[in-house]
Amino acid sequence: MSDLLTIEDISVSYGNIKALRNVSMLVAKGDIVCLIGANGAGKSTLLKAIVGLESLESGRILYKDEVIAADRASHAHSLPTNIIVSKGIALVPEGRRVFADMTVEENLDMGAFLNKDDAAVARKKEEMFDFFPILGERRRQKTRSLSGGEQQMMAVARALMSNPEILLLDEPGLGLAPLVIQDIFSKLAIINKEDKVTIFLVEQNARMALRSSNEGYVMETGRIVLHDKASELLKNQKVKSAYLGE
């Protein structure tokens, strides 16, 4: 399988806080890849760097062999977020970031803001309402009235409105009950398998993330400390004691 997303030796700092230190990762087309790590490890920073929301101190990020982000010293230049999204990368941000005063339908429209083809947007919306029936039922309801799980589904549907080839998810299970998390992960598996959307997710819920993924990476204080098949990481003694509570 070919690599869709290539992260090469990137570092990101906030003032004198080094959030990412020489991180390299590969996401192959068609895979589900997860990144696990504790609070403050640098997971969100990595996702933000991929979509151009944090600048690189060193290294570069390639999407289908094209440089989308690079450090200032290199001659390649970083693309703005809207261009990165238009190339097929969508982010479901941490904490969902829904527009609470907008209806479900209006939120989905926001996810398709780059698409000027109204008929295609309307079709895509109906597809989302078929796939997430609860959102169809609530389409004219204000988003703030949805449950946490429903809001997360909506955040995923909103990201899918841009027809991404790769979906980045920042802790989709955060604050949700185990059954709701399971429901979300089973939807992600369908999106991956049937719609051929590559998935890169970061999670603190290591067990659920690793069980759902092909490949896994473990991050500690800004560094990748382990990388293997997800099934191997589930058996790894260090992962078991540090992340699986075994």
Ligand X SMILES: Nc1ncnc2c1ncn2[C@@H]1O[C@H](COP(=O)(O)OP(=O)(O)OP(=O)(O)O)[C@@H](O)[C@H]1O
Decide whether 50 or 108 has the Cβ nearer to Mg ion: 50
Binding mask 154-193 for ligand X (x = CB under 6 A): ----------------------------------------
| Separation of alpha carbons 69 and 54, rounded Å | 9
Is 39 one of the binding residues for ligand X (CB under 6 A)?
yes
- Three-class secondary structure of residue 221 per DSSP: coil
| Separation of alpha carbons 138 and 122, rounded Å | 16
As measured in angstroms, the least distance from the Cβ of 1 to ligand X is 27
Partner from Mg ion, ligand X, none contacting 19, C-beta within 5 to 8 A by type: ligand X
Which tokens hold the place of 199?
A: 């998935």
Which tokens hold the place of 163?
A: 């027809």
Identified binder of ligand X from the candidate list 33, 34, 45, 109, rule CB under 6 A: 45
As measured in angstroms, the least distance from the Cβ of 104 to Mg ion is 25
Q: Which residues contact 117 (CB under 8 A, 6 or more apart)?
A: none
Is 6 one of the binding residues for Mg ion (CB under 5 A)?
no
Is 198 one of the binding residues for Mg ion (CB under 5 A)?
no
As measured in angstroms, the least distance from the Cβ of 49 to Mg ion is 13
Is 83 one of the binding residues for ligand X (CB under 6 A)?
no
Binding to ligand X in span 84-143, by CB under 6 A? 94
As measured in angstroms, the least distance from the Cβ of 56 to ligand X is 14
Which tokens hold the place of 4?
A: 């869709």
Is 42 one of the binding residues for ligand X (CB under 6 A)?
yes
Is 44 one of the binding residues for Mg ion (CB under 5 A)?
yes
Binding to Mg ion in span 57-96, by CB under 5 A? 94
| Separation of alpha carbons 4 and 23, rounded Å | 17
| Separation of alpha carbons 236 and 241, rounded Å | 9
Identified binder of ligand X from the candidate list 11, 103, 182, 204, rule CB under 6 A: 204
Q: Which helix (H) or strand (E) holds 216?
A: strand 215-220
Phi-psi region of 64 (alpha: psi -120 to 50; beta: other; left: phi over 0): left
Query: Which DSSP string do the residues of 92-142 spell out, in sequence order?
Result: E-TT----TTSBHHHHHHHHTTT---HHHHHHHHHHHHHHSHHHHHTTTSB
Is 45 one of the binding residues for Mg ion (CB under 5 A)?
no
Q: Which residues bind Mg ion (CB under 5 A)?
A: 43-44, 94
Q: Which residues bind ligand X (CB under 6 A)?
A: 14, 17, 19, 37, 39-45, 94, 204
